[in-house]
Amino acid sequence: MQKFTNNASVNEWIEDKINLVKPDNIVLIDGSKEQIEALRAEACSTGEMIKLNQDLLPDCYLHRTAVNDVARVEGRTFICAPTKELAGPTNNWMDPDEAYKMLYDIARDSYKGRTMYIIPYSMGPVGSRFSKIGFELTDSIYVVLNMCIMTRVGLKVIEALGDSNDWVRGLHCKCAIDEEKRYICQFPQDNTIISVNSGYGGNVLLGKKCFALRIASYQGWKEGWQAEHMLILGVEKPTGEVEYICAAFPSACGKTNLAMLIPPKAYQEKGYKVWCVGDDISWIRKGEDGRLYAINPENGFFGVAPGTNEKSNPNALAATRKGTIFTNVALNLDNNTVWWEGLDKNPPANAMEWTGKPWNGQTSDQKGAHPNSRFTAPAENCPCISSEFENPQGVPISAFVFGGRRAKLAPLVYQSRDWNHGVFVGSIMASETTAAASGAVGVVRRDPMAMLPFCGYNMGDYWQHWIDIGKTLDPDKAPKIFNVNWFRKDDDGNFMWPGFGDNLRVLEWILDRCDGKVDADEVPIGYVPKAEDINREGIEDEVSLDSLKAMLEVDKGLWKTEAEGIAEFYAKFGDKLPKVLADELATLNENLK
Ligand code: OXD
Ligand code: MN
């Protein structure tokens, strides 16, 4: 047997996969600069990547995926648990034996004429008690280079693993990028992920959604911790004290923007700062002091490019100025840089659109960048990256914030009455669809805790796990749980809240509630602020007190209809629905009478 590492379980598994896919060459990724440089050069020589203007964008590259391979594929993502019930009603399920057979048939001999790259990676700082290790086998240099940004890669990881068998197996085969044979399969009971026929980020960077959410959520259930689809940010007060918030939002709700928020002028002048610990995923465990602590298991940002600009998110933009891989954006041929819709108002006239076709910058029916085009940027590039980003102990969480896009229903912010009610608030999360996604606009999509496509087991068990975690926490130390809605609209269809940096005003109220510094009004769905307690300094003209009051209103009629929708959704879970949540729904109905 070949000895890739000193770990017998790793060597055995790799050997087995080599015999299956039959690569011509095998390369162990050691994480060194020299190796990364050589791989970049090789990818450029084959056209897999394009080297961008190294003066303006040092160490930056452009990659184009196949046109049929531009997003995560939820319909082809499976939880391959021993029974359908273990996967639950919100996941696609496949019997593990059948799935392995089908996937191995697809993967067999698929590396012939290709190189197998073995990527040892750590999710979380190497050696932290929060962190977990994975090996991804891939035949794509693009995947290797992205994984080197998004995770901690290299020999230090192999050393940290020692002879443990606690690591996640990941096999990625590009095959022929055949949509009909594209599968993203998670085997939570086997710590295994197999992804075939895709070359797009979310499907193939196996550390991210597949491991850090689907497999890790299952591991957390079994081991007493949590993997959540949550950003982590720190709010620094003028006193220098920093408090941390974890927040979950469905796609298209501005998660990366919130994670890197720039405080409004009035707050900056007082000395407020916001620090980003993570923009997508949190791994959460109880600390010795009884509080919950979170780490960001990732090492970079895989952000949506369109709409990112100097105004919406200068920190994200700054993060992409070096060492970044752009995927499916437009190429400006005049200066060999990149462009996307919403970057600025000057699309390049001499350009190539994301597919590589010539483009004159005029938006007729052509777009420069694909709407789901991405940047993969190192976290360390971000000007507001938290000093705690690498802290192996994580950061203590004061508040969990859930949110969604609701034109009329949810108030700007409300607080749950207690932990269990907070779990209910997370479980009823929903967002109205936007024009950015295909399908009808304004349709409510239920997305509990923003985990709908990412929970690796039965969502009913997942809710019970949240409830059980709460039982282990002293209520004084447990994070308080809130819901926000930046997207409330007036009767003319205009957004009522300015959003972006001004969201700090709401976060301030949230933290004041956590610190017992501010009162609230009790309403049928929880506690809402007194309008005067949301600081409007600097936006008095834009947001009147009356408008703020309107944003905090709870319309009983709308909530009654909502409660019917929740009951319908909950019914899918049968006896897996925790009694606590059924009781919370009954309380809501009672409160709405
Ligand atoms: C993401 C997502 O790409 O949630 O982070 O879809
Ligand atoms: Mn996400």
- By residue count, the chain amounts to 593
Is the beta carbon of 303 within 6 A of some atom in ligand 1?
no
Q: Contacts by 492-498 with C-beta closer than 8 Å and gap 24+? A: 496/412, 496/543, 496/547, 496/550, 496/551, 497/412, 497/543, 497/551, 498/539, 498/542, 498/543
Burial tier of 217 (Cβ tally within 10 Å: 0-12, 13-18, 19+): buried
Q: Is the pLDDT of residue 2 over 90?
A: no
Q: What is the CATH architecture assignment of 8-30+73-223?
A: 3-Layer(aba) Sandwich (3.40)
Nearest CA to ligand 1 atom 3: 202
Nearest CA to ligand 1 atom 5: 280
Assess whether the region 8-30+73-223 and the region 301-381 belong to the same CATH fold.
Answer: no
Dist CA 317 CA 315 (whole Å): 5
- First-to-final CA distance of the chain: 70
pLDDT band at 440 (very low <50, low <70, confident <90, very high): confident
Residue in this structure with the two tokens 């193939």, named with its chain if needed: 204
How far, in whole angstroms, is CA 238 from its chain's centroid? Answer: 30
What SS3 state is found at 305?
A: coil
CA–CA–CA angle 414, 417, 419 (5° rounding)? 110
Please give the structure tokens belonging to residue 160.
Answer: 């940290």
Q: Is the pLDDT of residue 45 over 70?
A: yes
Q: Is the pLDDT of residue 42 over 70?
A: yes
CATH of domain 301-381: 2.170.8.10
Residue range 55-67: mean pLDDT, rounded? 97
Which atom of ligand 1 lies closest to the CA of 454?
A: 4
Nearest CA to ligand 1 atom 4: 251
Residue range 415-421: mean pLDDT, rounded? 98
**529-561 residue pLDDT tens:** 999 999 999 999 999 999 999 999 999 999 999
Nearest to 132 by CA among 234, 212, 23: 212
Domain residue spans of the chain: 8-30+73-223, 228-296+389-575, 301-381
Q: Is the pLDDT of residue 365 over 80?
A: no
Which atom of ligand 1 lies closest to the CA of 255?
A: 5
Contacts of 541 (CB under 8 A, 6+ apart): none
Q: Is the pLDDT of residue 436 over 60?
A: no
**147-180 residue pLDDT tens:** 999 999 999 999 999 999 999 999 999 999 999 9
Res 443: pLDDT: 86
Res 362: pLDDT: 87
Q: Which of left, alpha, beta for 231 (phi over 0: left; psi -120 to 50: alpha)? A: beta
253 catalytic? Reply is: yes
Is the beta carbon of 192 within 6 A of some atom in ligand 1?
no
Is the beta carbon of 483 within 6 A of some atom in ligand 1?
no
For the chain, helix, strand, coil in percent to 5 are: 35, 25, 45
Contacts of 365 (CB under 8 A, 6+ apart): none
Res 334: pLDDT: 98
Dist CA 534 CA 526 (whole Å): 17
Dist CA 517 CA 527 (whole Å): 14
Dist CA 432 CA 446 (whole Å): 9
Contacts of 553 (CB under 8 A, 6+ apart): 411
Q: How far is residue 347 from each of residues 58, 65, 351, 368, measured CA to CA in Å? A: 22, 21, 9, 8
Res 437: pLDDT: 55
Res 109: pLDDT: 98
The active-site residue, picked from 60, 173, 246, 253, is: 253
User: Across the chain, what does the average pLDDT equal?
Assistant: 96
Burial tier of 158 (Cβ tally within 10 Å: 0-12, 13-18, 19+): buried
CATH of domain 228-296+389-575: 3.90.228.20
**12-39 residue pLDDT tens:** 999 999 999 999 999 999 999 999 999 9
Q: Is the pLDDT of residue 438 over 70?
A: no
How far, in whole angstroms, is CA 445 from its chain's centroid? Answer: 17
pLDDT band at 1 (very low <50, low <70, confident <90, very high): low
Dist CA 119 CA 582 (whole Å): 45
Residues 514 and 243 sit within 8 Å (Cβ to Cβ): yes
Percentage of the chain modeled with pLDDT above 90: 95
Residues 369 and 306 sit within 8 Å (Cβ to Cβ): yes
**506-519 residue pLDDT tens:** 999 999 999 999 99
Which atom of ligand 1 lies closest to the CA of 250?
A: 4
β-strand pairing of 92-93 with 77-79? parallel
How far, in whole angstroms, is CA 296 from its chain's centroid? Answer: 10
Res 433: pLDDT: 79
Per DSSP, the residues of 292-304 read EEEE---SEEEEE
